[in-house]
Structure 1
Amino acid sequence: MTGLGTLDAWVGRTIGVGWLPTRRDLDAYQLRCLNETIGKARVESPFYRSLAGWPETSHLDELKDIDRFPLTTADDLARGDPSLIALPLRDAVRLVTIPTSGTSGRQKRLFFTEADIEATVAYFEHGMATLVRPGSCVAIAFPAERPDSVGDLLMRGLDRMGAIPVALPVDGPVEALVAALRELQPAAIAGMPVTLGAAARCMAADGGPPLRIETALVSADSVSPSFRTALAVIWGTEVFEHWGMTETGYGGALGCDAHDGLHVRETDLHIEIVDADTGRVLPDGSEGEIVITTLRRRGLPLLRYRTGDSGSIAESPCRCGSVLRRLRLAGRIGEPVALGDGKRLRPEVIDDAIFAVTGVIDFLVEFRSGRHMVVGLVTSDPRTVDEVRSVLRSHPAIGPALRAAGIDIAVEIAVDPPPPPCRKRRVLGVEHVA
């Protein structure tokens, strides 16, 4: 693998320095872009034009001065009154509507221009070059049929860098996905953890020919240690994590060979970490809510947008040599499972414990009537039911928490039809707390 040297070189060209950028180069570029974005948003976006709490002086002298500006929330984006859009709708080439958790009946609507789409394709082109060689076949396990969807943009970026992207059938049973992978024999794969984990475990259990996949780009959900281990054992895969969301223009931060945090897409995003309760900016190394400000997006700029994800900025330089800041992810804000009496469990802990059982292909977790944790397994071995039950009861965090809250564990084979493999993993039927 090539590390992030290729990406840093592209960043240098993109920000206009023509060489490998220094931290000073990046800070100067971000400061210039922030001032441009703030000025345009205040003049052309009805939302930011009327936003209360705007400082008297909009110009930033230093990057840290951005904390003078108010935070933007998903509810602001979903409400859309006044609109955050800073261009005529005729200039938008892509409209994305996505649900907003905790906002009843509302959806976030995001608009992208041709320039926004091009920036994302370029990021995917150069980011994927750090883990995929030209000429390599890359299996895409994201939905890619819709133009300008994340799967489509990723395939366009891979095509530009000389790889051969092929979309997998992700809207059917996992067996169809496995059959396509065996026929394709890809050198790399990209998809969500649930999708890739189910495919790998299904392949390991069905008695068919094994497959070797060198690298995997995993995005759109948390990555557990047991998932990494499964892909390494079954496919011999090195997992590279990616963080992004529709609000970031899909691309956001990418892991490197050091596997010690994800390098931020600093050509297009300024990132802060804030206290989720107070909104106060936290120093590097402290865990809090990830807040983004878009740098080059002119159609729908986002200033200090609360992502709902938790993480921290690494304090020390990366071993790979990149000067790009590193984001360490820590799960989703507001989604610990409330068990009662102040006791909580993070969904990522449950996910890691269950998927660590080798017979598990896929699973669903649901809390029923407040006192029953029901795990529905997809497995080819009925003995897996007892193994999962035993693992959950003996787990040092899960077992005591459930017993203290008076919650019993039921593990069963999931009824037909099995859950679709292309999805995020969520714990159902529970109260979430911030």
Structure 2
Amino acid sequence: MALPVLDQWLVRRMGRADKLPPSKDALREWQLARLRTLIAHAQANSSFYARSLSGVDPASIRSPEDFSRLPTVSPDDLREQPERFLCVSQDDIARVVTLQSSGTTGQPKRVFHTRDDLEATADYFDWGMRNLVGPGQTALVLMPGERPGGVGRLLVDALSRSGARAVAHGVLEDAGAGVDHLLAEEASCIVGPPAHVHLLAREWERRRLPAGTVCSVLLCWDSVPDALADNVERIFGCRVFRHWGMIETGLGGAVECAPGSGLHLREADVFLEIVDPETGSLVPDGEFGEMVVTSVLKLGMPLIRYRTGDRGCILPGPCRCGSPLRRLDPHVRRLAAGVAVGTGLLRLEELNEALYAVEGLSDFSARLSGRTLHVLVCGGNGVGERAKRALASLPVIALGVTENVLQIDIEMKNDAAPALPGLGKRRIVIDREL
């Protein structure tokens, strides 16, 4: 019986001579050994870690609890002189990514990747995508593919290794053009941000194109609402997989083994801890907390115990596929993904689930200006009224309207463009941030 594809990747990445997947305990011991090596490497070669990990004996790290007592790295640390994290010469850096966080006007983060880092990601993409697209099949990628080391280019290169093909469409600007491209390339798989794939699905539905042409979809780059995933699955009549990853740790982080099973972590490269955001202590599997990540084999610019600001949960128990890789709950959210509206906190995830469940709604954006929540809704006739009723079903909005501390303004847009341009992660915009 063939090993699950991610177990095949794990065996190769760990360099196991017996070609058999490790037990969970053996995998954890391998990770701890790599972490000890990483700490020593960072102490010796990075000015940041020489100071922050001063006095830490790598040999003392014998358990996850030992590791969890090390200091964390914050996004602000990364914004301030990111070169201090480097453990190699800048001549060894193949790509630098500049990240401006949503709603932040200060100094951006800069993340450095070596050629080995980019190759490791391409290798992971190759194996992780084999559940979605096979030899001779084509995936349409709703991301740019021109920049070397960018996610689109890495996917194009990765899929060619297994005999599949990826075509980079670029950032979706028009759903009609996207569907035309999908049909022209005879693509059976779509990879892209949830909002853009949903817009594509609604255009597919509007044209009354048949289900079954698209066989699989990978939703990535941003959080995935359940209502959106359900719509995409229903309209295309296919399996919908979810992905979680970060540019800071090398893009790929976890991918769904099978729909509904949870996201298997990229544990040979990314060590994930779930901690209480207030105390920093580890929480048990099955409980949500802040996601703290360590790039285990990323030696050029390692991040050791980086606080992501994301809220996540490790699913307890084994996956039915039998893999030793731990599973991430698909409902990864930002810890601070809400805005105060006078009667409480309105969370983006609540808007997502309420509005993507609206019949015919293609996309939306939300902006809070004073006491008014402006919602731009994309869709056909009647969508605006249905969206208004859906918003009124949310308790925090209903109470705010009743107590006259919140007003709702619905604006309709019925073209095929996304509600928000570009690849920025979706959020509720507050006017004072602009």
Tell me the residue number matched to 1:413. Answer: 412
Offset at residue 421 of structure 1 (A): 5.8
Alignment of 1:25-424 (within 5 A): 25-51=26-52, 54-59=54-59, 60-80=61-81, 83-101=84-102, 104-206=105-207, 212-257=213-258, 259-328=260-329, 329-340=331-342, 343-369=344-370, 371-379=371-379, 381-395=380-394, 398-400=397-399, 403=402, 406-414=405-413, 419=419, 422-423=422-423, 424=425
Q: 2: CA distance between counterparts of 1:8 and 1:123?
A: 11
Distance 1:58 1:208, change over 3 A: closer
SS of the residue 2:361 aligns to = coil
TM-score by length of 2: 0.92
Alpha-carbon distance between aligned partners in 1 of 2:418 and 2:136, rounded to the nearest angstrom? 35
422 and 4 in structure 1: CA distance in 2 versus 1, 3 angstrom threshold: farther
* Contact 2:257 2:263 (C-alpha < 8 Å) held by counterparts: yes
Q: Deviations over 1:141-164 (max 9, x none)?
A: 122221110111111111111111
Closer, same or farther: CA 83–406 of 1 in aligned 2, 3 Å = same
2:8 corresponds to 1:9: yes
Please say if residues 3 and 130 of structure 1, whose CA atoms lie closer than 8 Å, have aligned partners that are also in contact: no
Alpha-carbon distance change, 231 to 102 in structure 1, aligned in 2, over 3 angstroms: closer
- 2:430 maps to what in 1? 429
Give the counterpart letter for 1:339 in structure 2.
Answer: V
Report the CA distance between 1:104 and its aligned residue.
3.8
**C-alpha distance in structure 1 between counterparts of 2:338 and 2:8, whole Å:** 40
Question: Secondary structure at 1:199's aligned position in 2?
Answer: helix
1:7-63 alpha-carbon deviations (Å, 9 max, x no partner): 102201221222122112211210111011000111111111122x74543321223
**Counterparts of 2:316 and 2:431, CA distance in 1:** 36
Does the residue aligned with 2:97 lie in a helix, a strand or coil? Answer: strand
CA contact (8 A) 1:4 1:320 kept: no
Query: More displaced, 67-76 or 92-101?
Result: 92-101
The code of the aligned residue for 2:9 comes to W
Deviation (angstroms), 1:267:
0.9
1:327 CA displacement: 1.1
For the 8 Å contact 2:275–2:292, the answer to whether it is kept is: yes
**Farther-moved stretch of structure 1 (252-261 vs 186-195):** 252-261
Instruction: Provide the rounded CA distance (Å) in 1 between the counterparts of 2:110 and 2:231.
Output: 37
Give the aligned residue type for 2:376. G
TM (norm. structure 1) is: 0.92
Distance 1:374 1:285 in 2: 36
CA distances 1:350-378 after superposition (whole Å, capped 9, x unpaired): 01211111221221111112x11111122
Q: Is the contact between residue 142 and residue 172 of structure 2 (CA under 8 Å) also seen in structure 1?
A: no
Aligned letter for 1:7? L
- Please, what is the CA RMSD of the aligned residues? 2.4
Secondary structure of 1:382 counterpart = coil
Cα distance, 1:345 vs structure 2: 2.1
User: Is 2:188–2:214's contact at 8 Å kept on the other side of the alignment?
Assistant: yes
Deviation at 1:197, TM superposition (A): 0.4
Q: Is the 8 A contact 1:337 1:345 kept in 2?
A: yes
Q: Which runs of 5+ in 2 are unaligned?
A: none
Query: Structure 1 residues 55, 401: CA separation in 2 closer, same or farther (over 3 Å shift)?
Result: farther
CA contact (8 A) 1:256 1:262 kept: yes
Q: Secondary structure at the match of 2:30?
A: helix
Q: Deviations along 1:105-128, whole A, 9 cap, x unmatched? A: 211111111111111010000111
Task: Give me the whole-angstrom Cα distance separating, in 2, the residues matched to 1:138 and 1:302.
Answer: 32
Structure-2 separation of matches of 1:415 and 1:203: 15
Question: What is the CA distance between 1:130 and its match in structure 2?
Answer: 2.1
SS of the residue corresponding to residue 144 of structure 2 reads: coil
Residue identity (%): 37
